[in-house]
Amino acid sequence: MLREWASAKPFTDTLERIADLPRLLDFYNLRRPHWSLAGQPPMSRVPVNNLIGKNS
């Protein structure tokens, strides 16, 4: 995250950096390919029908 968010571009202040965090989290969890997940994003592993939050 440091390379892809905190140090990726110059921010004018901490509040600007914090405001940009939701954008990175969306990309990282929903769209960014992950090598350990065979090129899939982390959210691809979340069970769709798991309403109580427990992995099955």
Chunked mean pLDDT (size 10), the chain, 56 residues: 80 91 88 87 73 56
To the question of pTM greater than 0.85 for the whole model, the response is no
How is residue 56 annotated by DSSP? -
In a domain, 52, yes or no: no
Instruction: Look at residue 14 and tell me if it is in a domain.
Output: yes
Q: Are 44 and 28 in contact (CB under 8 A)?
A: no
Residue 56 lies in a domain: no
Would you say residue 34 lies in a domain? yes
> Is residue 40 classed as helix, strand or coil in its secondary structure?
strand
Number of domains in the chain: 1
Q: Residues 4, 26: contact at Cβ < 8 Å?
A: no
| Structure confidence at residue 34 (pLDDT) | 87
Question: In which domain, by residue range, is 21 found?
Answer: 2-45
